[in-house]
Amino acid sequence: MSVYKRPDSPHYHYDFQRRGVRFHGSTGETSRRAAEEFERAEKERVKAAFARGAGASARMTIDDAAGRYWLEVGQHTAKAADLDRELADLIKTIGASLAMGDITDDKLAAWVARRRGEHRFGDPRRGLVSPATVNRGFTQLLRRIFIRARKVWKIALPDEPDWSSHILREPRERVRELRVDEEIGLEEVERDDYRPLRLFAQASGLRRRELVSLTWPQVDWASGIIRVVGKGDKPHVVPITQEITGLLWPLRGHHPTHVFTFVAQRTRRCAKSDNTYVRGKRYPVSYWGWGSRFARDKVKAGLSDLKIHDLRHTSATRTLRASKNLRAVKEMLGHSDIKTTMRYAHALTDDIAEAMTARVKDEAERRAKHEADKKSRESPEPAKQTPAKRLTKKAK
């Protein structure tokens, strides 16, 4: 295809393929002659790139790479909707027509700096986006695209950025446990239709997305397990304990597919999802819907610093404190590395205190024994009578 004009642009565009890889974009030229010269030069650059082994990497645009990544990987992930949004934001930040080979450390550093200066949801009142958001939603996502391009698509990337230099330092995740008195306060303000979800979160230790997306086909009563897809699309199994049975069994029949539902308090239309809710009817609890409900309940209960994810921390901390079994908690949470589970080791402070007390007792006993032995060595033994003396006494 020769150069052409698009209705939405004053510039001519180019579009050609080499070895099955598509190259396209704006020439930045308004005259056909200049645009054709640009296209010829572009083809020569691609040809030279293939010749030196850089191949498709030099001119494959980030738009094409992101689209291919979405088709092959993204759409099949558990968080496909979030990933779709993140890919769109990434392309918007970088520019759809920028070639992967043109992504340098200098440009990446500028993009990261710009992203970390943005506000959450574009609202200054919510503060700046966190380092974790920048890392996961931008830098690490772009790195995954590059890795797939290099390993699967066999695209050479000689000038690939030094990713480790662009990963922002993240603060250590806090471990906040819901105290018993706080839980009682939360029970007093939360609605009955939302309580089973919160209690199940504390019983299972599942993440927020895994909880709200739980469906009845995932609950295998016969086998006594619940199957979920965890973080990183890894399969995870939750045993159906007596406690979990007591929570889920009464919910049967509320909805044909979803386990956790709520009763609409009034007829309304949700602006975010465009769904209409009719008063008195049950609907599946959504990710954002639970977040909104929980935010109101925690304020009423005076727990403004509590987060939904803290219910997972609560589950892990209480289970470890009761069982003293760190490996069991690791499996319950679906951690791939026990080092991650070690953040809950603070729950064993009672054991630590008991061990320290035992040490003091042992030291005291050892000291007492030492003093007793010392006194025994220092005190003189009674003189023993010789045979001659005993005979003298008998003679008298």
Query: Given 107, 309, 321, 343, which residue is catalytic?
Result: 309
| Size of the chain, expressed as the number of residues it contains | 396
Q: CB of 233 within 8 A of CB of 210?
A: no
Q: CB of 271 within 8 A of CB of 289?
A: no
Catalytic residue list contains 174: no
Q: Which residues pair with 228 in a beta bridge?
A: 236
Q: Which residues pair with 14 in a beta bridge?
A: 25
Query: Given 24, 107, 335, 343, which residue is catalytic?
Result: 335
Query: Given 22, 24, 231, 282, which residue is catalytic?
Result: 231
Query: Given 312, 313, 318, 330, which residue is catalytic?
Result: 312
Catalytic residue list contains 335: yes
Catalytic residue list contains 287: no
Task: Say how far apart CA 320 and CA 181 lie, in whole Å.
Answer: 20
Q: CB of 156 within 8 A of CB of 53?
A: yes
Neighbours of 56 (CB within 10 A): 26
Catalytic residue list contains 309: yes
Give me the residue label for tokens 């691609």. 46
- The edge-to-edge listing of strands for the beta sheet with 235-239 is 219-220, 225-229, 235-239
Within 8 A by CB and 6+ apart from 220, the residues are 226, 227, 240
* Residues 145, 151, 153, 157, CA torsion sign: positive
Neighbours of 385 (CB within 10 A): 10
Q: CB of 346 within 8 A of CB of 175?
A: yes
Catalytic residue list contains 359: no
Within 8 A by CB and 6+ apart from 10, the residues are 30
Query: Given 207, 208, 318, 330, which residue is catalytic?
Result: 207
Task: Say how far apart CA 91 and CA 186 lie, in whole Å.
Answer: 42
Within 8 A by CB and 6+ apart from 355, the residues are none
Neighbours of 146 (CB within 10 A): 21
Q: Catalytic residues, which ones? A: 207, 231, 309, 312, 335, 344
